Structure 1
Amino acid sequence: MVVAVWMALSGNALAHSFTAALIVADDNREASLAEAVRGFLLAADERDGHANETSDGHLGGVDVHVLPLPRDAAGSVEGLIGKPTEPGDVVVVLGTEPAASEAARKYQSNSTVLLQVVLPVGWDSDVGTDSFVARYRLAYGTAPGLMAATGYHAARRLDVAIRPLDGVIPRAALEDAWRSTSSGLPW
């Protein structure tokens, strides 16, 4: 299965907070969206956490609020804090082509779009994934699937890209930082 992750950046983020909207464009989108959000949340909870969280976690040292879209597919998503509004400062679309491109078009006006390469078959046998799989099992009681791993990987890439910027703007710098994270991230 080819999984595309697109990100559309609107530039409306506050200095220390942004909203990441996650969209899954496939046939089983409710279950896939819940799995992608769980993977994303696991990464957002790994660093910079603190007591009395008012966000869904941190990426790049910045509070992140997760917005599962479309709302009618978010029924299985649990554990989110707050009710961010659409479209989100970062829109991540996961799915097979051409459905992912079609879903991304809705958010492309005045936005920058980035593509993540699909995780390879056998991602879970790569060096270092044991730690991710164990953390996911501990948090959710089940092994992660492709969408959980893809959501986790997208969040890790965002963490690395955002950290030196302290936010999701300037857009060009975030695009460059995102491109530099295309490979070699530890699990």
Structure 2
Amino acid sequence: HRLRSDLPHTRSLPCRARSPSSSSSSNVNSGRGDDADNLLEDLLSKHGEVVYNAGGAPGIDADDDAECLSFAVSLAKVASEVKAADIRVLFVKPLVYWTRFFIILTAFSNAQIDAISSKMRDIGEKQFSIVASGDTKPNSWTLLDFGDVVVHIFLPQQRAFYNLEEFYGNATSIELPFEKQLQ
């Protein structure tokens, strides 16, 4: 599977904040760049050269990947803080044209799903100026679509049944920096 650069990316949202002059967004983004840069370097070494959109300048796509990775890791950390289990961030850009990262996680009740999705929406809107579409009420498989980052929140039975990790088995799993600190 290969990303086709000739397909229009009509629904993809950039992972950068829309108001870079805002002082709160500059404070929030400090300290995350190094981890994102290291993770992006690992991805590039595993996958080789980056495929660019026909109209985009080289480097823009790689910058967007790094910013999206930083956003995805921030969302995964929020899920961890709300006690989600088995959190996985997958780099799916080489496999699908419509997003860059999946976050897959398990919650154990509708109340926990609601708390996780609410906090993720808040982080997206307040710190990254990205509004999610998707489910507004908790379901056994709740989806939050931030454009370049798509979050799948499952109850345990649905996660085992749909098994997205196996379906996207060729995706690169991202090591989460905050999980190292917990061990």
Higher helix share: 2
TM-score by length of 1: 0.31
Q: Which has the larger radius of gyration?
A: 2
TM-score norm. by structure 2 comes to 0.31
